[in-house]
Copies of this chain bind each other. A is one copy, B any other.
Amino acid sequence: MVVVVSAMSGETNRLIGLAKQISDLPDERELDVVASTGEQVTVGLMALAIQAEGGRAVSFLGHQVRILTDSAFARARIQDIDGRLITSALQAGKIAVIAGFQGADRDGNITTLGRGGSDTSAVAVAAALKASACEIYTDVDGVYTADPNVVKNARKIDRISYEEMLELASLGAKVLQIRSVEFGMKFAVPIHVRSSFNENEGTWVVPEEKAMESVVVAGVTATKDEAKITLPGIPDRPGIQAAVFRPLAAAGIVVDVIVQAYIQNGRTNLTFTLPSSDVARAQDVLAKHCSEICPPEHIKTDVNLSKVSVVGVGMRSHAGVALKMFEILATENIHVHLISTSEIKISCVIDAKYAELAVRALHDGFGLAEK
């Protein structure tokens, strides 16, 4: 058995807070040195706890095992794991307790993987050891067809494909860190998401199976705090999108759904969504860099939006899913601002006040409560 642990609740925030007291924008190499101590403490305590229960355990830090990452401090990516130390601990009959969230680059600098990085560490270690499965212990029983706080009859999903889980994770279901699912998919590690508080079977995240295709929609999810910015009547010429999105990207503003609608006379409306918290900054950037394309006073913003999505690999072989989604929303008189689709997902941007109603209606309409 190999255990990967994260920091104690609130500890990573406390450590980052210490650094932020010194500098608003602390050097990320040093920030990682400080932040990685959260997992170093728990890995030692976990080994002690196992020993106190009569087990044999030994702890390993990221640089010890060694979890090799690139040098992108605070958001490093795992490149390789040397499983030899872990394997010899296992062969000696010990439980290996490994610090999540952390690694070391080629020069031995301490790195961290960013928020939720311990999930990624766990799946990466499981992949390196060719483990039969990686169990993620969390505060919920598994992945549900919708947020059980919103939809009373939401059902725990027994098995879900990596692709579906990726879409759900990126669309607001916070059960698993996206990169951990990517890792699981890349190395075909079955991930079992389950509760820390009971022995119930949770949700298995696994490669796509034939049976999954008969289920058109696996889950419904909604994000909050979305906003929309529209640049009306801008020139419809090559490079115009790049001219708008380059300065936004340079300012670190992540744009989500983008829609461009042709009007007339070589002019077009460009609309995109972004987190509400970035709207003011985006307006500044556009006023500074794009005033020739669109005068600042013409720019329209719309906050208090939500993105509701249905996800399922069955969409690949079933037509009419989008149509059904629009019909369900129309029945509830919910206006759809923007639409975005992928092979296994349809998202609609709507007014935030209708988000919970939409999730419930879609959950019912697609019959997700029944297995």
Residues of A within 8 A of B (CB): 15, 18-19, 22-23, 26-27, 29-34, 36-37, 40-41, 43-45, 47-49, 51-52, 58-59, 61, 63-64, 108-110
Contact = CB atoms under 8 A, between A and B. Distances in A.
Contact of A23 (B19, B22, B48, B64): B48
A59 B35 CA distance: 14
Contacts of A61: 33, 110
B63 A48 contact: no
Contact of A22 (B37, B40, B49): B49
A202 to B, nearest CB: 27
Contact of A30 (B15, B29, B48, B110): B48
Contact of A52 (B23, B49, B52, B110): B23
Interface centre among A34, A61, A110, by most chain B C-beta atoms within 10 angstroms, is: A34
A6 to B, nearest CB: 15
Interface centre among A33, A34, A51, by most chain B C-beta atoms within 10 angstroms, is: A33
B51 A33 contact: no
Contacts of A26: 48, 51
27 contacts: A19-B44, A19-B48, A22-B45, A22-B52, A23-B51, A26-B51, A27-B47, A27-B48, A27-B51, A29-B58, A30-B44, A30-B47, A30-B48, A30-B58, A30-B59, A31-B44, A33-B40, A33-B44, A34-B40, A34-B41, A34-B44, A34-B45, A36-B40, A37-B37, A37-B40, A37-B41, A64-B109
Contacts of A45: 18-19, 22, 30, 34
A63 B47 CA distance: 21
Q: Shortest 8 CB-CB distances between A and B: which pairs?
A: A33-B44, A34-B44, A37-B37, A30-B44, A30-B47, A22-B48, A23-B52, A37-B40
- Interface SS of chain A: helix
Contacts of A44: 19, 30-34
Contacts of A63: 63
A308 B33 CA distance: 45
Contacts of A47: 27, 30, 33
Nearest to A40: B37
Contacts of A32: 44
A75 to B, nearest CB: 17
A32 B44 CA distance: 8
Contacts of A27: 47-48, 51
B30 A108 contact: no
A7 B15 CA distance: 14
A20 to B, nearest CB: 9
A52 B108 CA distance: 24
A47 B32 CA distance: 12
A112 to B, nearest CB: 12
